[in-house]
């Protein structure tokens, strides 16, 4: 498993069922693109909206890759919702 914490979403593009998120930052000065292939256009629009909100708010995200699958996670927001507190993002 590969993890990179403290990244920021720089930009988000959507084309049909594909969503591309450019990310940068973290301890290793990561710069790259995460490609989401969604089941349908509605799911793609929803994913893009979340990613754009993170970009607008400057939310720190974590890149998680396991094998050939990868995703971005608002780790702080996820943990806050898991323990029942409000997330600042």
pLDDT digits (tens, 9 = 90+) for 46-66: 999 999 999 999 999 999 999
**Residue 50: which CATH number?**
2.20.140
**Which residue range is the domain that position 17 belongs to?**
2-83
**Residue 88: inside a domain, yes or no?**
no
Instruction: Read off φ and ψ for residue 15, nearest 5 degrees.
Output: -145, 105
Domain count, the chain: 1
Distance between CA atoms of 53 and 57, rounded to whole angstroms? Answer: 6
**Residue 66: inside a domain, yes or no?**
yes
The structure tokens 């590969």 sit at 2
Which pairs with CB-CB distance under 8 Å and at least 24 residues apart come from 25-33?
25/60, 26/63, 28/4, 30/4, 30/63
pLDDT digits (tens, 9 = 90+) for 5-40: 999 999 999 999 999 999 999 998 999 999 999 999
25: β partners: 7, 30
């Amino acid at each position: 498993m590969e993890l990179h914490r403290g990244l920021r979403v720089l930009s988000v593009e959507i084309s049909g069922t594909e969503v591309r998120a450019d990310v940068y930052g973290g301890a290793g000065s990561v710069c790259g693109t995460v490609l989401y292939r969604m089941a349908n256009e509605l799911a793609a629009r929803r994913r893009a909206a979340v990613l754009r909100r993170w970009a607008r708010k400057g939310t720190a995200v974590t890149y998680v890759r396991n094998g050939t699958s990868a995703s971005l996670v608002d780790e702080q927001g996820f943990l806050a919702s898991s323990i029942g507190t409000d997330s600042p993002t």
